[in-house]
Amino acid sequence: MDAHEVPDRQSVHEVLELLKGQWTVAVLASLALGERQFNDLLADVNAVEERIGWTSHPRPLTARVLTDTLRRLQGHQLVARRSDGNQFSAVWYRLTQDGRSLLRALRPLANWARQHRANSESAEI
């Protein structure tokens, strides 16, 4: 079966599988700003959550969860890892071309969610 024969439903499930994990989108969005060291990425994600009032997540992102998220995203070729090879060297992460294109594809979905929320709120009034 070639890519043109895959039903839309299956393709959507594949994308949802890529996005699973409550911190995935937050990590991708932070990396959209450019390459980041692990600790800076962790601080950036948590700073954004704190700034918006912890509405998306009840607790801060931990180093362990960030590590797991980054490994999963690397496995799907959405994030690339770079280090200078020394045992205790800094590690940098960046979005790959596929990671950037995924974020671009999520923008219409985010717009739909905002519109849906506004419609739901106006219907309650």
Render pLDDT for 59-108 as a digit per residue (tens, 0 to 9): 899 999 999 999 999 999 999 999 887 878 889 999 999 999 999 999 99
Q: pLDDT above 70 covers what percent of the chain? A: 94
What pLDDT does 6 receive?
66
The first and second tokens of residue 49, run together, are: 């959550």
Q: What is the pTM of this model?
A: 0.84
The Cα 82–Cα 70 span in angstroms is 12
Q: pLDDT above 90 covers what percent of the chain? A: 58
The Cα 24–Cα 26 span in angstroms is 5
The first and second tokens of residue 8, run together, are: 């839309």
The Cα 39–Cα 92 span in angstroms is 9
Amino acid at site 84: D
